[in-house]
């Protein structure tokens, strides 16, 4: 973006305040984690989408390139959602995707192929990432969701010091 700004000539005035030191901000651990998972998801999705053949060779899943590409598209979608203003649904989508990945890899890990070791390693990695996804989703929900329970009642806040009836009949 800063490159774009320079090309567009959008520079600050020399007199504008400059940052001397940075302080507490809006982003907390769960937000950073969701972003990390989002970029990870997009990276993995690209790999699956454009390197499906290599992935199937490594895992012993030849013939299932279509499945890997579909998983790649799903990963990119959930990754984009994780980077959005409300990342919780994106992380939830990742958890659902993790379940599908675990089911697929569990099949690959049990086959008689010599490469089942690769599938077992991948399965362990996905289980690890799933744990991270679940932790992230719980933390995001705790931080950003509106807690259940009664809301404040603002029925006493008309904004009309002389009353609503007076306000309705104000002449100019």
The helix (run of H) or strand (run of E) holding residue 34 is helix 29-50
Residues 12-41, one symbol each (x = binds another protein by CB under 8 A, - = not), give xx-xxxxxxxxxxxxx---x----------
CB of residue 81 to another protein, shortest distance in Å: 6
Distance between CA atoms of 79 and 93, rounded to whole angstroms?
A: 9
Residues 85-124 interacting with another protein (rule: CB under 8 A) = 85
Distance between CA atoms of 125 and 40, rounded to whole angstroms?
A: 13
Residues 42-81 interacting with another protein (rule: CB under 8 A) = 80-81
Q: Go through the chain and tell me how many residues it has.
A: 172
Residues that bind another protein (CB under 8 A): 1-2, 5, 8-10, 12-13, 15-27, 31, 80-81, 84-85, 143-147, 151-162, 164, 166-168, 170
């Amino acid at each position: 973006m800063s490159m774009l700004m320079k090309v567009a000539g959008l520079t600050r005035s020399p007199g504008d305040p400059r940052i001397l030191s940075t302080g507490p901000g809006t982003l907390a651990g769960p937000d950073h984690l969701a972003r990390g998972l989002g970029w990870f998801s997009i990276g993995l999705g690209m790999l699956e989408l454009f390197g499906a053949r290599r992935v199937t060779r490594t895992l012993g899943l030849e013939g299932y390139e279509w499945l890997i590409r579909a998983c790649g598209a799903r990963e990119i979608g959930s990754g984009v959602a994780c980077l959005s203003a409300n990342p919780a649904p994106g992380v939830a989508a990742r958890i659902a995707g993790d379940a599908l990945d675990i089911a697929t890899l569990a099949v690959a890990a049990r086959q008689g192929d010599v490469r089942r070791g690769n599938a077992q390693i991948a399965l362990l990695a996905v289980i690890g990432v799933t744990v991270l996804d679940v932790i992230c989703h719980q933390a995001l929900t705790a931080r950003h969701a509106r807690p259940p329970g009664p809301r404040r009642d603002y029925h006493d806040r008309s904004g009309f010091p002389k009353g609503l009836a007076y306000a309705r009949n104000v002449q100019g």
